[in-house]
Amino acid sequence: EDQVTQSPEALRLQEGESSSLNCSYTVSGLRGLFWYRQDPGKGPEFLFTLYSAGEEKEKERLKATLTKKESFLHITAPKPEDSATYLCAVQWEWGGSEKLVFGKGTKLTVNP
Amino acid sequence: NAGVTQTPKFQVLKTGQSMTLQCAQDMNHEYMSWYRQDPGMGLRLIHYSVGAGITDQGEVPNGYNVSRSTTEDFPLRLLSAAPSQTSVYFCASSPRDLNQPQHFGDGTRLSIL
């Protein structure tokens, strides 16, 4: 069983069509949940960190929220330049050491 | 602002060859790590370092070696390349530990024939 699951795998939107990406996790003792954006041929670029349930962060058209077992990345009125793969990563403590696992990502395409 | 610099950007190797992937950061970050990214899989941690002289294994360390002699540099060595090591390799750094956002390089695309 994957510890971090992102859905959907791929999402196509029309410009201006709002939607949400999901990141669910099964680990206990969450220390942090991270969202990254990755453009083709590039390394992931940091977007947000969420540390506790109920926390929200916003940046331009993006808003990240966190519950006890999942996080959502809401995209409001997206533009073609928002097209990218969005990755989430979950950090937790296990056996006295820190663990960090990435999800497989959601590939977002925004058509003009 | 250079950030995290990886070299080379592309490399083709033959099975059994060895090589070193270079990673340098200019942000004075203590924590550095290496990941591999394969189609249909998330980024997987190979090795990491919490400071100069200190390294540890991640999720998929077999076939790879690392060392950290300076704060700035964290090279990844493939001892005897295998086709299963064909992947895109990313180096990342963060100021202190995993609890802080990581800064990634743009990757090295490695093909092993």
DSSP string, A28-39: SSEEEEEEEEE-
- Distance between A90 CA and the closest CA of chain B, angstroms: 10
For the stretch B74-103, pLDDT in tens is 999 999 999 999 999 999 999 987 778 899
Nearest to A104 among B42, B101, B102 (CB): B42
| CB proximity under 8 Å: B 55-84 to A | none
Question: Residue B24 — very low, low, confident or very high, per pLDDT cuts 50/70/90?
Answer: very high
Q: Between A and B, how many CB-CB pairs are < 8 A?
A: 50
At position B63, the amino acid (one-letter code) is: G
For the stretch A54-64, pLDDT in tens is 999 999 999 99
DSSP string, chain B: ---EEEE-SEEEE-TT--EEEEEEESS--SEEEEEEE-TTS--EEEEEEEETTEEEE-SS-TTEEE--SSSSB--EEESS--GGG-EEEEEEEESSSTTSPPEE---EEEEE-
Calculate what percentage of chain A has a pLDDT beyond 90.
83
What is residue A77's DSSP assignment? Answer: S
User: Which among B98, B100, B102, B109 is the top mutation candidate for probing chain A, defined by the most A β-carbons within 10 Å of its own β-carbon?
Assistant: B98
What is residue A52's DSSP assignment? Answer: S
Q: Is the pLDDT of residue A92 over 90?
A: no
User: Which among A7, A33, A100 is the top mutation candidate for probing chain B, defined by the most B β-carbons within 10 Å of its own β-carbon?
Assistant: A100
First and final C-alpha spacing in chain A: 37
